Structure 1
Amino acid sequence: MRTVELAQGHLSDIFAFTVPLAFEKTFVSLVAHFTDNDTLGGTAPTVFIRAGLDDPTPVDEGPLSVDIHGSGGAPVARANLRRSTTDGDTFFVSITHTKSAGPWKLQIRNNESEPLRFNGFIANDEHATKRPWPEFSALGRLVFDANAVHSRQILVRNVGVSALSFKDKAGDRFGPAGSKIVISKVPDPIPSHHTGIIEMTSEPLAEVATRQTSTFDHLFTIDDALQLDRRVTYLVDPPLLPRTRCRENDGCREYVRNFDLFPPDFTPDFSCVTCGHFPEDHGLPPAPPFDPFPPFPP
């Protein structure tokens, strides 16, 4: 898949593509995105196709095919561009190769008055160009509070051609084995141009002594043979243990049972902000290591 954003009248970069000798056709699907959950249905783009050293040939929307000439000036292919009958912002280009030629190149011009984002799929099998394609919003950093159940959401866009369906289901773990985050809601199939919400719920995470961020990945399973572009990367900040503080009158002579919470960068380690001692100096357990997703017990 290729993605390009084009203002009115602007041309994309030139994309090269190959045509294996055994194939007589090349198929291109173009999806023009205006805004989320909306279609424009405006003017079709122009696709410029070039074979060898000849000038690029413009291919506009219409029922007729145009000749694509090779380096010697003779026709080597015919191409046409048609609009989808079910989606006014999706366009299909069909190229029928009549002679061996190349190299092949393609360029897109936005003819609409609005800026559009084009996603393109190209293959020698027409079905392979009509696939879904998920685009996840950045999940970013998940900051957890102590002893609390948290809910988070991921916005997912379908920037492909066909409907996007998830095989993940509510109750599945989100992240690595032992994760305390579970998927609580998966959207219904998402049509092209549309968005959906994936919801997650987290059990309380173990508190840690100092701010420690870990990076995790989750691979969603979608209803598509290639299973491409389905990874979500996120950061986890577990809750902080309260920082110890000596009693004002007793100081270090007593075990500390009072706790105050200070900003994570107040001190570089888990220590008493009054005397600077570590927890074990006050008769408390040492600071636990950070492992927000401990392995399951045997």
Structure 2
Amino acid sequence: MKDKYPTFEKLTVLMITSMKNVIFLFLLCFSLTMQSQDFSDIDENEMPQEIEKINDEILKNPSGDNYYLRGYYYYLNKDYLAAIADYNKAISLDPNNYRFYYSKGNTIIKLKDYKQAIECYTKSIALNNTIQKAYFNRAYSKTMIDDAKGAIDDYTKSISINPKYLQAYQNRGIIRSKLNLHKEAILDFDKVIEIDPKFVEAYQNRAISKAMVNIDAKSDFDQVVNLTPDDPEAYYNRAIYFINFKIKGDYCSDIKKSVSFHFDAAVELLSKYCK
């Protein structure tokens, strides 16, 4: 039977715009990827009508499923407090449904209460320890409270459930690189690229980890430029690599290309290295 409940996951991506002997800029961002089978065709503009419909259903049948569904609609409508209230009601009616805790955790993340989100995912996992995204989302939450080891453990668990879980490899690699575990990070980025050869951030991050352990990273920087020819940072990062590691090559062409996109940091390099 198909799972009718909506599921969510977080994806974190690390973008790095400088190299050795230059201040690293870590821009950690995440996006929400929502997967839903029965409800994926619902437009946000239709949420008020859908909520009215489920209000009537709750009057007839105040079940945990119906409160959960209304909570999901509230979530889509960005009314997170109302969504949490309905998830709490659903849990009170059916405390053994792992989905209720899971979706409550996803909603709490929107409010940036990561410790409470971790509690929700932990309860969800206790009820069903085969859901890869529960470990993934708990790992993300642990990252946000600086529990790097706990996050790595959870990403590793999600990978054990799904060995092709690209986002889990990517995020684990990001954490390992931030901990200066670059050889381990490279293995994670290798796996990301194996799964998706066009995942540009993996090439960028792998290039940086390679550089930090004195492995030739030029081919990875080249691939970033090939995949994103309109991104000024791609040219800028390759130039920084050439300069800092004394790699032979026409890095001034990269700097000038980056300047042509009005990338301010490249303007500074141009005046310093390409007079």
TM interval, shorter chain, is under 0.3
Structure of higher CA gyration radius: 1
Q: Which has the higher contact order (CA 8 A, sep 6+)?
A: 1
- TM-score, normalization: structure 2? 0.23
Which has the larger helix fraction? 2
Which has the larger strand fraction? 1
